[in-house]
Amino acid sequence: MSADGLTVQTDGNGAGQYVDAERGLTIQRNTDGSGQYVDEQKGITLQVNSDGTGQYSDDGQGITLQVSEGGNGIFTDTKKDITMMVSDYSTSYTQGSIDIDVKPDGSGSYYNSETGLTIKNDGQGKAVITLGYDKKTVDAKPLEKPTKLPKLSMVPAVPSLEANSLLITLDSGVLFDVDKYDIRPDAEKILNDLATVLKEAGITAFQIDGHTDSMDTDEHNQVLSENRANSVKSYLASQGVTAEITTHGYGESRPVATNDTAEGRQQNRRVEIIVPTA
């Protein structure tokens, strides 16, 4: 279903497509968790395969991560001036003036271009330390096995639906002020467009579900989710939607993302419109 740049398609098992053109948000997810996630406003892009390989970038944080099979790839953090390159033959780490290289056989090197300090470990119990004209050989354990890059997280699931249904997800932060359930005046256009779509499509019945994050008590979140679902119902009815509308409030009980991050909590604060197609 589409409404004013909002498109949601789901097959009920977390796979599907979510596009919010106004917010620049796109989720395309396959049943194995692979797919694409793009948030143009935050500058975040994730393209991931079913084995956890792929690419991730966060322009706001200056981070890029490219992961290939076996944990090889490249990580960069421009804000901290960090680059890490991983291959089957070595792992190299650079930050500012420091360069570190580690090989699978336990050998490796350290170099600081500011101080001129160099350390070369032969992986067989010895290391050569050089600083200016001073050079000495010391006993040294072989270096630990080179670090591999982590697998990428799977694409966030499109919220599950019962079979033969379509879903529209609306961000509660767009519809309501914090901890309120009165429709915001600047959110009315979104609901007006949705009402137009529902009427033109001849929808005779649908469901509205309210959801919250976990930042307050269970009781508070339950009531808030119920009130928000009912507010959307009342507003759509005021715009001439005559379909039979049922509402449910689920509080914090059905998260679609982690509540440990601000981004995850924002995804969990939502109102879902569930439209039967059969």
Separation between Cα atoms, residue 228 and residue 182, nearest integer Å: 8
SS3 readout for 139-152: ECCCCCCCCCCCCC
- Partnered with residue 207 across adjacent β-strands are 246, 274
What is the per-residue pLDDT for 2? 44
Over residues 74-78, the mean pLDDT reads 96
Residue pair 90/103 in contact by the 8 Å Cβ criterion: yes
Mean pLDDT score of the chain, rounded to an integer? 87
Separation between Cα atoms, residue 195 and residue 180, nearest integer Å: 22
What amino acid occupies position 89? Y
Summarize pLDDT for 222-270 with one digit per residue, the tens.
Answer: 999 999 999 999 999 999 999 999 999 999 988 877 888 888 888 888 9
The two beta strands, 2-3 and 63-67, are unpaired
Over residues 116-137, the mean pLDDT reads 95
Separation between Cα atoms, residue 142 and residue 13, nearest integer Å: 48
Of 67, 43, 71, 46, the residue nearest 56 (C-alpha):
46
Over residues 54-73, the mean pLDDT reads 93
- Please report which helix (H) or strand (E) contains residue 184, including its range: none
What is the per-residue pLDDT for 254? 83
Indicate the pTM of the whole model.
0.57
